[in-house]
């Protein structure tokens, strides 16, 4: 069973030139979904992880399953304005303008070891903002896992250069 074939590619979505890597087909395939979660967890089995943090929205689905498998709590990192309690925030650059992600100020305790999860890493802008946010909260990001890497965009290497061990399961060429 090949995880790569479980992912559907939609050309020119959401705009011309982007090959959108759609994981809904993987999520809908029970063997592929379990395999992806198992492979994300496997290098960290037996290591001390206190929480999993997932990036809205696809990182919630995968991160929730990873947290359940590790028997640890889950921290949602959300788009600005969604979380009801006091938040910490981090901005990151988009192609046009900036975006902001937030987490609850009390979602992690200082010194907690956190694993960061999202479906895909491209430029790494989103993941680096998530790292900044978790570090602001005093957490130690001990691992990051992504089902898909777009290595030409360099995000996984940027995250590694920021001191985070990164695990990716499959790679696609291009953007």
Binding site for ligand AMP (CB under 6 A): 18-21, 55, 58, 118-127, 155
Closer residue to ligand AMP (CB): 50 or 134: 134
Rounded to a whole number of angstroms, the minimum distance from the CB of residue 159 to ligand AMP is 9
**Residues 78, 101: contact at Cβ < 8 Å?**
yes
Q: Rounded to whole angstroms, how far apart are CA atoms 3 and 83?
A: 33
Rounded to a whole number of angstroms, the minimum distance from the CB of residue 51 to ligand AMP is 19
| Of residues 59, 56, 18, the one with CA closest to residue 147 | 59
Closer residue to ligand AMP (CB): 115 or 122: 122
Closer residue to ligand AMP (CB): 102 or 118: 118
Q: Rounded to whole angstroms, how far apart are CA atoms 123 and 157?
A: 9
Q: Is 151 exposed, middle or buried (0-12, 13-18, 19+ CB in 10 A)?
A: middle
Rounded to a whole number of angstroms, the minimum distance from the CB of residue 48 to ligand AMP is 27
Active site residue 95: yes
Rounded to a whole number of angstroms, the minimum distance from the CB of residue 43 to ligand AMP is 21
Tell me how far CA of residue 99 lies from CA of 53, 87, 93, 126, in angstroms: 18, 15, 6, 9
Peptide bond before 6: cis, by omega within 30 degrees of 0? no
The active-site residue out of 34, 35, 39, 58 is: 58
Closer residue to ligand AMP (CB): 108 or 127: 127
Active site residue 58: yes
The active-site residue out of 8, 39, 47, 95 is: 95
Catalytic residues: 58, 95
């Amino acid at each position: 069973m090949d995880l790569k074939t479980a992912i559907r590619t939609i050309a020119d979505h959401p705009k011309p030139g982007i090959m959108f890597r759609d994981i809904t087909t993987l999520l809908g395939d029970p063997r592929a979904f379990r395999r992806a979660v198992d492979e994300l967890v496997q290098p960290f089995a037996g290591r001390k992880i206190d929480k999993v943090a997932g990036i809205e929205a696809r990182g919630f689905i995968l991160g929730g399953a990873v947290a359940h498998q590790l028997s640890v709590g889950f921290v949602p990192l959300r788009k600005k304005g969604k979380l009801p309690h006091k938040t910490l925030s981090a901005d990151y650059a988009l192609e046009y303008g900036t975006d902001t992600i937030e987490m609850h100020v009390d979602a992690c305790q200082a010194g907690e070891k956190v694993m960061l999860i999202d479906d895909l890493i491209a430029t790494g802008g989103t993941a680096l903002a998530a790292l900044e946010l978790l570090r602001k909260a005093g957490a130690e990001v001990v691992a990051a896992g992504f089902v898909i890497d777009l290595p030409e965009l360099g995000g996984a290497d940027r995250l590694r250069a920021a001191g985070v061990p990164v695990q990716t399961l499959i790679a696609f060429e291009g953007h």
